[in-house]
Amino acid sequence: MLPLPHASILAAFETLALEAGRAIMEVFNEDFAVETKADASPVTQADSRAEAIILKGLRKSFPDIPCVAEEEASAGICPPDLKGPFFLVDPLDGTREFISRNPDFTVNLALIQDGVPVVGVVYAPARDIFYAGSPAGAYVASTEGHQLRERRPIHARLRPSVPTVLASRSHRTEETNGFIASLGAVELVSIGSSLKFCLIAAGEADIYPRFGRTMEWDTAAGDAILRAVGGATRCCDGSLLRYGKRNQPDDCDFANPHFIATGA
């Protein structure tokens, strides 16, 4: 296979994430219904609108790269063969935050190559902030009217003596609390969605432990940004978190094990 055009993929990710964010905010600013999927997780019209925008754009621009998207996967729609590169899409990460009118929800797009997230964008439309990472590095940008303003390079920081630990706002577990307690003195911040990866990548936090349920589309985009600045997301055995996991003996396709994300 020819080398993938990472710059072109990143440019497409930027355009589609911003367009999806606009559609999400149109729903956010209205009264909207909440439905429950088969796995008991909530879904709204914003999820489906955003996913349709993203998938249409990716399939038009990159017809040879398969897509794995949260809502399609929930409906049993998934490419049969993922031996090559593929896209992972979470059109609205943090649906519970969206429903509760908390601004910590994001649009997540990632390119997976050889099990590794190599290009990713995370857009938080209610916070007007956009993060991106690729082999060329990572940046953060503010947004206005769902358009990017000036991009600023980001870098992870060396861990201070009192690290900042990020924990899920909606999915905290006792095992997570126990791990945090084992670290000693920390500054603990609760925040939703994949923004936790981005804050570590931007040098604003240090550790994100997740001892609870996640799927690959929840983590891939933020993980790509974190890896672009030298950070890592590791399983409890120390191995790097991998993507494209199927036919797992103890869990469903694309389910993640517990992990710990860290900066430099």
Q: If you ran DSSP here, which 8-state letter would residue 147 be given?
A: E
pLDDT in tens, 170-225: 677 889 999 999 999 999 999 988 999 999 999 999 999 999 999 999 999 999 99
121 with 226, same domain? no
Q: Mark the binding-site residues for Mg(2+), compressed into ranges.
A: 70, 90, 92-93, 218
Please give the pLDDT value at position 165. Answer: 97
pLDDT at 170: 66
Same domain (yes/no): 135, 172: no
User: What whole-number distance in Å separates Cα of residue 125 and Cα of residue 146?
Assistant: 7
| Residues contributing to the annotated binding site for substrate | 70, 92-95, 218
Per-residue b/e over 179-205, b at no fewer than 16 CB within 10 Å?
bbeeeeeeeeeebbbbbbbbbbbbebb
Q: What is residue 193's DSSP assignment?
A: T
> Final residue of a domain: which of 153, 179, 197?
153
Residues 18, 149, single domain; the answer is yes
**Residue 200 belongs to some domain of the structure:** yes
Residue 228 within any structural domain of the chain: yes
Number of DSSP helices (H) and strands (E) in the chain, helices first: 7, 14
Q: What is the pLDDT of residue 2?
A: 56
149, 169: one domain: no
User: What beta strand segments (E) does the chain contain?
Assistant: 34-36, 42-44, 67-69, 86-93, 106-113, 116-124, 129-134, 137-144, 147-153, 164-168, 187-191, 207-210, 232-235, 259-262
Residue 125, domain CATH? 3.30.540.10
Last-in-domain residue among 129, 153, 177: 153
Query: pLDDT grade, residue 39 (50/70/90)?
Result: confident
Q: Is the pLDDT of residue 1 over 60?
A: no
Q: Worst-scoring range by mean pLDDT, 55-59, 135-139, 192-196, 257-261?
A: 192-196
How far is the C-alpha of 234 from the C-alpha of 156, rounded, in Å?
Answer: 16
Residues 146, 240 within the same domain: no
Q: Does residue 40 register a pLDDT over 80?
A: no
Q: What is the pLDDT of residues 43-98, one digit of tens each?
A: 899 999 999 999 999 999 999 999 999 999 999 999 988 989 999 999 999 998 99
Residue (of 245, 199, 205, 243) closest to 225 by Cα position: 199
* Domain-located, residue 227: yes
Residues 10, 51, single domain; the answer is: yes
List the binding residues: 70, 90, 92-95, 218
Q: Does 100 map to a domain?
A: yes
The total of structural domains in the chain comes to 2
In-domain check, residue 158:
no
What b-and-e string marks burial along 120-152, b requiring 16 or more CB atoms within 10 Å of the CB?
A: bbbbbbbebbbbbbbeeebbbbebeebebeeee
Mean pLDDT of the chain: 95
Task: Point out the domain boundary residue: 127, 153, 179.
Answer: 153
Amino acid identity of residue 195, one-letter, is L
**What is the crossing angle of helices 45-61 and 6-28, to 10°?**
160
Residue 65 falls inside a structural domain: yes
Nearest CA-CA partner of 137 in 6, 15, 22? 6
Residue 159 falls inside a structural domain = no
What pLDDT band is residue 38 in, cutting at 50, 70 and 90?
confident
Residues 190 and 231 in one domain: yes
pTM above 0.85, yes or no: yes
Domain region containing 255: 164-262
Same domain for 121 and 178, yes or no, is no
Q: How confident is the model at residue 9 (pLDDT cuts 50, 70, 90)?
A: very high
